[in-house]
Amino acid sequence: MSEQENEKWLDELIRRSIETSKPVFDVEQWKQKYPDEFKTLVQRSSRASSRQLKILAAVFRHPAAKVAAAAVIIVAVGLLIVRPGPDKQVSAPTAARSPAEMITAISLTMAYRRGGMEAVERQLDRTLDRLGPKPMSLSLSQLLQNSNG
């Protein structure tokens, strides 16, 4: 006899011999039958939320945690004080607004390296001559180009 034929008559016999109807779980009946176990199960939900609070409380009970929290607050306040406000804008590099500003430290340093104090004086005279009465119209690059020769 083949295994498939075996399966048919055997499966039929097994089904007839054991009560195989699907059992259905009745939750309410189970709760009534095992009230203590159900209570233990449900109580865990309140325990879980209170556990998180206990952890926080335990952390802040420690002196080191208090010091750390105070340090964090001080650093945060310090940062707020030092940080520039949103209305304070960093000025963009523009051409100098006055002849005095035009003589930059860079151009003067370069002139000094080329010919000492005499070269610095010459640089100053030349710059003032070239700028004339309209310093705002001169760009920074033009100024530097003129100053550096």
Binding region for other proteins (CB under 8 A): 1, 3, 5-11, 13-20, 22-25, 27, 30, 33-34, 37-38, 40-48
CB of 55 to other proteins, least distance (A): 15
Write the burial class of residue 144 (CB in 10 Å: 0-12 exposed, 13-18 middle, 19+ buried). middle
Q: Which of 23/93 has CB closer to other proteins?
A: 23
Q: Report how far apart, in Å, the C-alpha atoms of 121 and of each of 48, 114, 133 are.
A: 81, 12, 20
d(CA 58, CA 48): 15
CB of 44 to other proteins, least distance (A): 4
Q: Which of 37/121 has CB closer to other proteins?
A: 37
